[in-house]
Chain A
Amino acid sequence: MKFCYEITGGDFSAGGSASSQVKKTLKQFNIAPQVLRRIAVALYEAEMNVVAHAWRGSMCVNINVDHLSVVVEDEGPGIEDIDRAMEEGFSTATEEVRQMGFGAGMGLPNIRKNSDEMELTSTPGIGTRLTLTIRF
């Protein structure tokens, strides 16, 4: 079962609505609450990265028998140094992003912690692609 949602860069009031939809959908399945929380947290941080750092993007989730696969793709400035971006505390977030309670450089490390597999690729000037696998 596959669902896709659009994400708009800079739209902080709508930020999180895609993750919210996915969480709502997954609640209908028999998934352990801890796993559901890990999924929700990882998706939300990924969605907020598109809102905070990119122009526009999408989140597609594929619900399989024993795992969820996720692709979050965006058009945006991309990431020059992926290893650096993955470090705790590294952030290029603007003051506006900080005022929303994000921008401490904890998002990507937390996404990694909450997922079983994570792959982040990016082309500077074009965009970024994040794929995640979380087992139920």
Chain B
Amino acid sequence: MKQMNVQQLNQLIPGTILLEGHASTLYTKAFASDLMSDVLRFQMEQTVLVTGLCTIQVLRTAEMSNITCIIFARGKRVSPDMLALAEEHHITLIESALTLFEISGRLYQGGLEPVYR
């Protein structure tokens, strides 16, 4: 199973790393969704969340489901509130101008797996 750290996975996109939380975490999976209720249904350890939703609830969802890396797609800008919550919970934040589809494609090609098959 392919494992990569934040720097390695960001090279696949590449986006802007706003905040580096758990620098030592190795990621093996990715999940793309704008629906937080869906994110909360799966085991998310070592999983990167890719989303076009840019609200404080994305951070709360990450906190509850142990997600430590979020990529915001389509040029969505993280608010100061979101940044503060991410800092508190050591969550890595990446902004990218690419679409959800393209980011997902690049991560998949790079070797990340879906949360289930």
A binding-site residues for B, Cβ under 8 Å: 12-13, 15-16, 19-20, 23, 33, 37, 40-41, 43-45, 48, 99-104, 106-107, 110, 113
Contacts and interface: CB of A to CB of B under 8 A. Distances in A.
Interface stretch (B23-31, B50-58, B100-108): B50-58
Interface residues of B, number: 22
B18 interface: no
B63 interface: yes
Interface of B: 34-41, 43, 45, 53, 55-58, 60-61, 63-66, 81
A33 to B, nearest CB: 7
Given A45-B40, A110-B41, A101 B66 contact: no
Secondary structure dominating the interface of B: helix
B47 to A, nearest CB: 12
Nearest to B44: A37
